[in-house]
Homo-oligomer: A and B are copies of this chain.
């Protein structure tokens, strides 16, 4: 049983049929052995297993999935594959624990690419999708959800369709950051963060404004939401640090902003108290080590898979949004005292 490809004799993959012939049993019996069906006699089992290893047979997962109607795979559409992605890792772990494989695709913060990735997952008939939504609307998912596809949004909710979601407690996190800086004597605190068209950017900026209003601090010239680019962050930071009454402390709304801010501050990092939203590896070896509001990625990933499995089991359950607590990790940069007025 060989096949000529490119001029080379190359063995074709053995199928269940070949195993059956080799073992001298019926096709169905091989299937039973492969699926650990207990209704097969012991001697047949060993004969079939011998044939399997003799032929290096491995069942074709596609055919199995096609026949069974389920794929045993969850899709994960995440923003980025190149950078650290603790949530994806947690999703991977939780899925494996349940015997599910993960098909991860990167959306690169691009709406079209997100759509393409998600639809490709649907064509592969994944059993569910975990998505870190980018697009402003996900109505193209509506028919899929209606057809019973479990979809769980992570970090931000899906707009335009009703899907389960796992979010961090953004407001509480900003509150913790603000309080920490206040406790250390800061009154003039600035915020630079993500674009308010993005859900998290909106929530965090709003929470920050609420904190300032509650504490009676200055608001004007202190809040800078927008697209995260090196130039915008440095412009904002320059504005915040200049003038007659410069800020003495800074809250950054996401990792990208934090890093751009630190890059801009360079050796002067110790001049400004900083609390970053979201932790990242190496935050502890910076000088001063960075105080952060850390999201609980492990819990977020695990919860996402829990919700996904629950919905697969009962598609009629009410749509649920889970808010995961965040944690302030004090490492030094947020505990720098305010200079005496």
Shortest CB-to-CB span from A49 to chain B, Å, is 16
User: Nearest residue in B to A311 (C-beta to C-beta)?
Assistant: B6
A314–B263 CA distance with the chains assembled, in angstroms: 48
Q: Are B281 and A125 in contact (CB-based, < 8 A)?
A: no
Interface string of A106-148 (1 = CB under 8 A from B): 1000000000000110111100000000000000000110111
Given A88-B81, A282-B282; A62-B125 close (CB under 8 Å): yes
C-alpha spacing A56/B119, complex, angstroms: 12
Interface size of A as a range: 35 or more
Least Cβ–Cβ distance between A301 and chain B, in angstroms: 10
Q: Contacting A101 at CB < 8 Å: which of B6, B120, B281, B285?
A: B120
Given A60-B66, A62-B71, A285-B262, CB of A89 within 8 Å of CB of B85 = no
Given A125-B61, A313-B6, residue A105 in contact with residue B105 (CB < 8 A): no
Task: Tell me the residues in window 5-57 of chain A with beta carbons closer than 8 Å to chain B beta carbons.
Answer: 5-8, 10-13, 56
Interfacial chain B residues near A282, Cβ < 8 Å: 259, 280, 282, 286
Q: Are A92 and B88 neighbours in the complex by a CB distance under 8 Å?
A: no
Q: Tell me how far the C-beta of A130 lies from the nearest C-beta in chain B, rounded to whole angstroms.
A: 13
CA distance A60 to B122 in the complex (A): 8
Given contacts A104-B81, A286-B285, contact A11 B146 (CB under 8 A): yes
CB under 8 Å from chain B, chain A span 249-269: 259, 262-263, 266-267
Q: Is the CB of A60 within 8 A of B125?
A: yes
Q: Are B123 and A61 in contact (CB under 8 A)?
A: yes
CA distance A277 to B60 in the complex (A): 41
In the assembled complex, A59 has its CB within 8 A of some CB on chain B: yes
Minimum CB distance partner of A86 in chain B: B82
**14 additional A-B residue pairs with CB within 8 Å, beyond A11-B147, A101-B105, A262-B285:** A5-B148, A8-B315, A8-B316, A56-B147, A60-B123, A62-B65, A62-B125, A81-B89, A81-B104, A83-B281, A89-B106, A263-B285, A285-B286, A287-B287
Binding site for B on A (CB under 8 A): 5-8, 10-13, 56, 58-63, 65-66, 71, 80-86, 88-89, 92, 101-106, 119-120, 122-125, 143-144, 146-148, 259, 262-263, 266-267, 280-282, 284-287, 313-316
Closest A-B pairs by Cβ, 3 of them: A82-B89, A56-B143, A61-B123
